[in-house]
Structure 1
Amino acid sequence: MRTPAPTTVADLTEAVLRGAHGPDPAALHAVGAFWVRQSTQFPGTDTKYRNYYLVLRAESAFGGCCLERDQLDSAIAEELSGRSLAELLRDPRTPVRIAALDAYLALAYPHREQAQARAQLLPHGTPLERAKARDAAIAGLLDIRPGMRVGLIGVVNPLVEAIRARGGVCLPCDFNLKHTADGTEVVADMELVLAQADMVIATGMTLSNGSFDRIVEVARERGTGLVVYAQTGSAIVPRFLGHGVSAVSAEPFPFSQFSADPTPIHLYRADGLDAREAA
């Protein structure tokens, strides 16, 4: 029997705990746990991106969650290894649950085996070259018509440029930025953006701050196109494909900024077409 599509992340987590998506999570363990602090600032810019990650390894898969600076202490990495994924899926701390769910679903639904996913290798190169290639791939998932209002929840400046290049009106939203690179004001209240947007582009970090469910709910109610670029929850977001999420750029760990060698991203679309046939 086919597993019903989840409505919320909590629904998906409960289904995993019931065994509806594959192996018993109580039998799987986080063999490795990592807490990573990283920043990026490209030459000639004054924007510094600060990222904090919790990463769990279970068997052959990794689960990742980007979080706010003070959301978890770095000692978490020493605490979590050895615990079962079932235990971590019940942890009171949201980033721990997200990383565990991501690791579990990466095992249950490997990107390379999903018919709706098209793998694309980011090229060997500098951080800027690889970031541009990644953002161009994400922009390729967008179906923006001139004059369309596009909410960008989690600001990445090349995506601001991509929206405008396609004739869209960018509505940027972010907790940590006040202005985009071109000076556009960034709002902190996503409800203002969701109320106006004809399409929404969101980062997977919405999973770790708890806003993902609300964004998907609005997308379903209003029929708003929702594209998610996911390092956080790269295996979680595709479970919502066609049920609030229109397309996903899924980037599992190790993330592009941690390597100069070719690494894959997996592009999903909810149009029913096998992405490998469309490539």
Structure 2
Amino acid sequence: MPTATQSLSHTSVADLTASVLRGDYGDDPAQLHAVGAFWVRQSTQFPGTDTKYRNYYLVLRVESGFGGCCVERDQLDSVIAEELSGRSVAELLRDERTPVRIAALDAYLSLVRPHREAARAQVFMLPHGTPLQRAKARDQAIASLLRIEPGMRVGLIGVVNPLVDAIRAHGGICLPCDFNMQRTADGTEVAKDMAPVLAQADLVIATGMTLSNGSFDEILAATRARNIPLIVYAQTGSAIVPRFLGDGVAAVSAEPFPFSQFSADPTPIHLYRAEGFVAGDARVAA
């Protein structure tokens, strides 16, 4: 049985889930239960802007582990939080609803492979501060994983405007893709179809929400086939994505629950880099 310092190779999220159900990660998921289920509906709008971010989360607690999955507005009914507690992790991993499976897998892996025990993870503390200060620090942490050369085409699947700015500041060409955005803050048109982005990009940055909408496997397969780096910034699936590190994923900014927007106190982000992957400077000014 692999230890926390050993890794298994997986072709997809479904393959990882099957591995967990076989017991490859230790604790039997049939003997663990979701003792808590939460539905969170949250919005953010910073002063002086007209952009309102709307987020919807399913969060499951399994013993000391939490698993989070951000979903689209109508993807799940909020009553789900009243239904899922008490069910075994094994049952939840077989649920027909993708976000339920992702939240359960994330909770299980956060329990058996906690970030604090990961040799490759660098702890990056977000400072105490306002929502905007903490959001900027978080985006800077993600940007620290990037090494963008002038003229490099960077696919951004799940648009975060500070990352658009960071890509351009380094001379990169941003190829933004998002289901819920028409244009970036600087007016760049945002694509709905990620296939052309994946075909053109020299490097791809994706959000963990690609797990909840089922597109993560397609992105992973495309970047593997083209042998280009994939960097993931993950609230959703923060314990899942590191399982693909060095096997299609070059770097991860993993932010476990409770997420930065739910606290003003210092909270950790865990930065992972695959062996041999060189990125930028991970320091953040206080």
- Find the partner of 2:200 among 191, 196, 203: 196
1:226 alignment partner AA: L
- Other-structure match for 1:144: 148
- Find the partner of 2:274 among 270, 273, 279: 270
- Find the partner of 2:254 among 236, 242, 250: 250
Q: Percent identity?
A: 79
Mapping for residues 17-32 of structure 1, pairs under 5 Å: 17-32=21-36
CA-CA distance at 1:22 after TM superposition:
1.2
Structure 2 SS opposite 1:42: coil
1:82 alignment partner AA: G
Residues 1:95 and 2:79 aligned together: no
TM-score (ref. length: structure 2): 0.94
CA-CA distance at 1:271 after TM superposition:
1.9
- Other-structure match for 1:120: 124
Do 2:8 and 2:243's aligned partners in 1 also have CA atoms closer than 8 Å? no
CA-CA distance at 1:253 after TM superposition:
0.3
Number of residue equivalences: 276
2:204 alignment partner AA: V
- Other-structure match for 1:184: 188
1:19 alignment partner AA: G
- Other-structure match for 2:43: 39
- Other-structure match for 1:155: 159
1:207 alignment partner AA: L
CA-CA distance at 1:61 after TM superposition:
0.8
- Find the partner of 1:72 among 73, 76, 101: 76
1:179 alignment partner AA: R
- Deviation per CA, 1:197-250: give whole Å up to 9, x if none: 000000000000000000000111101110000000000000000011000000
CA-CA distance at 1:48 after TM superposition:
1.0
Which residues of structure 1 form unaligned runs of 5+?
none
2:126 alignment partner AA: L
Q: Within 2, Cα distance between the matches of 1:61 and 1:107?
A: 4
2:44 alignment partner AA: T
RMSD of the TM alignment (CA)? 1.4
Structure 2 SS opposite 1:271: coil
Q: Within 1, Cα distance between the matches of 2:26 and 2:269?
A: 24
Structure 2 SS opposite 1:167: coil
Residues 1:171 and 2:183 aligned together: no
2:69 alignment partner AA: C
